[in-house]
Amino acid sequence: MKINILDTTLRDGEQTPGVSLTSNEKLRIARALDEIGVNIIEAGSAITSDGEKLAIREITSQDLDAEIASFARSIQSDIDVCLDCGVDTVNLVVPTSDIHIDYKLKSSRLQVQNEMVENIEYAKDHGLTVELSAEDASRTDMDFLVDTFKLALDAKADRLCPCDTVGVLTPERSFDFYRELSKLNAKLSVHCHNDYGLAVANSLQAIRAGASEVHGTINGIGERAGNASLEEIVVSLNNLYEGKYTTDIKINQLYNTSIIVSRSTGVYIQPNKAIVGENVFAHESGIHTDGVIKNTSTYESITPELLGRRRKFVVGKHTGTKGLNNRLSELGIEVNKEQLNTIFKQVKEFADNGKCVTDVDLQAIADNVLEKDMQQKVNLEEVTIVSGNKITPTASVRLKIDQDEILEAGIGLGPVDAAINAVKKSINEFANVKLDEYHVDAITGGTDALIDVIVKVSMDDKVISARGTGSDIINASVEAYLTGVNRLLENEDNL
Ligand code: MN
């Protein structure tokens, strides 16, 4: 059974607190939604502002494949603005619960029905498709709701959408509710909010009970706790119902669309968000990683390929050597057993300090271990720093140059400067190495972060970049400098 998708990212999604899209952003999102096969795009609420009107008009002028809809209240002037914008469809929203009728509209059940019939007829007379949304339907007296829907059908409304406006349905109630309404033999849509985290479950139950269209937003953004997440619904329908339901959505483009929406709206996607979160295909634990490498279905029920994404092995406290080796080869780093063990040890130390090892961290740790393996002319044995308030920063270093041990001291403007000066002095006899550039980065943030130092050093007319990594900024700096010195000296020997 084919399920149609109405995406309301540009209307309900834009009602997310703090979100306001420019007309360019709206257009970009509308194009992306059309591209992935959304059947109906609710482009906004035309009556809201002149800017909104322009944005909707821009979208309707694009000749997209999707049906373009605008939200409208049950007021003739709202429908007129929708007509102005050239939309195909109005999502005519009529509050049906007594709470809404009494307190919001200060009207009566009868008046609401009469106005609704008038406005459906007006919209139909002007060539619009009408989706009649009963606002707060899940808290509406059932007899009144059914009666209202019957009147809407008599007035030739095309589709009916009983909305769970405040997200109070449970999966069980959603099924019963839709089963009852399916007796009307009309096209039913489902519109759920996520106040209890049940929006997707409730939408799926509505579909099981007979709804043929589902409303959702990309990343589940929307008022309060948001709407049903479109990507979760689509992938669930695709994977979990044994082929019973199909949609027109190109699943492998959902992730890209999610990123576009997240960037435009500024609404961050939580890392553990189903389908599109950063961690969805990340494996850290040693046992899990080992299993996934042997057979991905051991710990994955959704394949990253389905979503056009990639599997990630995150290295951390729970990583085993197999997972680590696998991650290193994915990064293009080949190591022998001994190097692997050294890297493994450093990763564990790093993780034990409460840090997660990202790919960049891992790359830095591995580079460092691999570089250390090379025979070096100048090796650092010891560095001592005296630094503080009202003290001239002073460093002493003990270096091993070939077989000789050299002890030297230096002062500087700061501790790093002092240490580098001490090293410079000790190698001065045979190499005049200048430090041209010095760049330091705390890779993962925080004062306990891994420090990455990159230097550019030169001797005569040769320039070389080198890096040093560690949790101590002085050691990392001296290491970077010495790596550069050794490389320059190696070049010298080769000449
Ligand atoms: Mn809504």
- pLDDT tens digit sequence for 155-183: 999 999 999 999 999 999 999 999 999 99
What's the gap in Å between 164 CA and the centre of ligand 1?
Answer: 8
What's the gap in Å between 13 CA and the centre of ligand 1?
Answer: 9
Q: Which pLDDT score is estimated for 412?
A: 94
Q: In the structure, what pLDDT confidence band is assigned to residue 136 with cuts at 50, 70 and 90?
A: very high
Q: Which pLDDT score is estimated for 494?
A: 47
| Mean pLDDT computed over every residue of the chain | 91
What's the gap in Å between 64 CA and the centre of ligand 1?
Answer: 24
Q: What's the predicted TM-score (pTM) here? A: 0.71
For the chain, give the percent of residues with pLDDT over 90.
Answer: 63
pLDDT at 443 over 80: no
What's the gap in Å between 3 CA and the centre of ligand 1?
Answer: 19
pLDDT at 245 over 90: yes
What's the gap in Å between 408 CA and the centre of ligand 1?
Answer: 72
User: What's the 3-state SS for the chain?
Assistant: CECEEEECCCCCHHHCCCCCCCHHHHHHHHHHHHHCCCCEEEEECCCCCHHHHHHHHHHHCCCCCCEEEEEEECCHHHHHHHHHCCCCEEEEEEECCHHHHHHHHCCCHHHHHHHHHHHHHHHHHCCCEEEEEEECHHHCCHHHHHHHHHHHHHCCCCEEEEEECCCCCCHHHHHHHHHHHHHHCCCEEEEEECCCCCHHHHHHHHHHCCCCEEEEEHHHCCCCCCECEHHHHHHHHHHHCCCCCECCCCHHHHHHHHHHHHHHHCCCCCCCCCCCCCCCCEECCHHHHHHHHHCHHHCCCCCHHHHCCCCEECECCCCCHHHHHHHHHHCCCCCCHHHHHHHHHHHHHHHHCCCCECHHHHHHHHHHHHHHCCCCCEEEEEEEEECCCCCCCEEEEEEEECCEEEEEEEECCCHHHHHHHHHHHHHCCCCCCEEEEEEEEECCCCCCCCEEEEEEEEECCEEEEEEEEECCHHHHHHHHHHHHHHHHHHHHHHC
What's the gap in Å between 96 CA and the centre of ligand 1?
Answer: 14
pLDDT in tens, 177-208: 999 999 999 999 999 999 999 999 999 999 99
The set of residues, in sequence order, having a beta carbon less than 8 Å from that of 191 and lying 6+ positions away, is 8, 133, 161, 162, 163, 164, 165, 215, 227, 228
What's the gap in Å between 84 CA and the centre of ligand 1?
Answer: 24
pLDDT at 382 over 80: yes
Q: Which of 382, 372, 391, 338 has its CA nearest to residue 466?
A: 372
Q: Which pLDDT score is estimated for 495?
A: 42
Q: State which of 224-233, 280-289, 314-323 shows the largest mean pLDDT.
A: 224-233
Q: Which pLDDT score is estimated for 318?
A: 81
What's the gap in Å between 191 CA and the centre of ligand 1?
Answer: 7
Q: Which pLDDT score is estimated for 379?
A: 87
Q: In the structure, what pLDDT confidence band is assigned to residue 285 with cuts at 50, 70 and 90?
A: low
What's the gap in Å between 193 CA and the centre of ligand 1?
Answer: 7
Rounded mean pLDDT of 418-440?
89
Q: State which of 15-24, 70-79, 403-412 shows the largest mean pLDDT.
A: 70-79
pLDDT at 137 over 90: yes
* CB contact at 8 A, 146 and 184: yes
What's the gap in Å between 6 CA and the centre of ligand 1?
Answer: 12
Per mean pLDDT, which range of 17-21, 225-229, 281-285 is the poorest? 281-285
What's the gap in Å between 177 CA and the centre of ligand 1?
Answer: 18
- Both tokens of 175, joined, read 């099924």
Rounded mean pLDDT of 240-251?
97
pLDDT at 29 over 70: yes
Q: Which pLDDT score is estimated for 354?
A: 66
What's the gap in Å between 445 CA and the centre of ligand 1?
Answer: 39
Q: Which pLDDT score is estimated for 351?
A: 78
Q: Which pLDDT score is estimated for 372?
A: 66
Per mean pLDDT, which range of 12-26, 203-217, 444-458 is the poorest? 444-458
pLDDT at 258 over 70: yes
pLDDT at 219 over 50: yes
What's the gap in Å between 489 CA and the centre of ligand 1?
Answer: 69
pLDDT at 488 over 90: no
pLDDT at 19 over 50: yes
pLDDT in tens, 111-123: 999 999 999 999 9
What's the gap in Å between 175 CA and the centre of ligand 1?
Answer: 19
Q: Which pLDDT score is estimated for 369?
A: 84
